Amino acid sequence: MRAPPDVAERSRNLTLHSRATPIGELPSTREPAHRRRSWQEVSEPLSVWIEQDLCTGDGLCVQYAPEVFEFDVDGLAYVKDSCGALLASPGARANVPPELRLDVISSADECPGDCIHVVRAADDVEVAGPDAS
């Protein structure tokens, strides 16, 4: 004997919902950072610095741009100069290589500590990070 249509439909819906993907596993609907940026922002020379007091040590920046970011022994991320030397003094800035601009901007956009500041070298205006407009 078949169940009435409304019962069968509710049963099917319950089955579908019980197999739904958990929210944490859903693909992101957030637009990638590089698509939200103007061409001018990624074509101009940039520099970057990390506010260590806010760094959570999650390492997204180190994964996105290991040529620019590195962990120190304290477990926090720091910027590196063009030769790869760690710049450990507070507020130390590193120039962003042109081919890594999008990666560094994405690092600032995705940083859980909101501690990465990416600024235009010409006028010091923040283009990515907590103080970007």
Q: What is the CATH number of the domain that holds 113?
A: 3.30.70.20
Does residue 15 fall inside a structural domain?
Answer: no
Q: Which domain holds residue 109?
A: 43-128
Q: What total number of domains does the chain contain?
A: 1
Does residue 25 fall inside a structural domain?
Answer: no
% the chain with pLDDT above 70: 68
Does residue 115 fall inside a structural domain?
Answer: yes
Spatial separation of the C-alpha atoms in residues 104 and 125, rounded to whole Å: 15
Does residue 6 fall inside a structural domain?
Answer: no
Does residue 67 fall inside a structural domain?
Answer: yes
Q: What is the pTM of this model?
A: 0.70
Of the pLDDT bands very low, low, confident and very high (cuts 50, 70, 90), residue 133 is confident
Say what the pLDDT of residue 8 is.
Answer: 55
- Phi and psi based region of residue 124 (left: phi greater than 0; alpha: psi -120 to 50; beta: remaining): left
Q: What is the pLDDT of residues 106-115, one digit of tens each?
A: 999 999 999 9
Does residue 2 fall inside a structural domain?
Answer: no
Does residue 83 fall inside a structural domain?
Answer: yes
Q: What is the pLDDT of residues 4-34, one digit of tens each?
A: 656 555 555 444 444 544 545 544 444 444 4
Say what the pLDDT of residue 29 is.
Answer: 46
Q: Is the pLDDT of residue 89 over 70?
A: yes
Does residue 33 fall inside a structural domain?
Answer: no
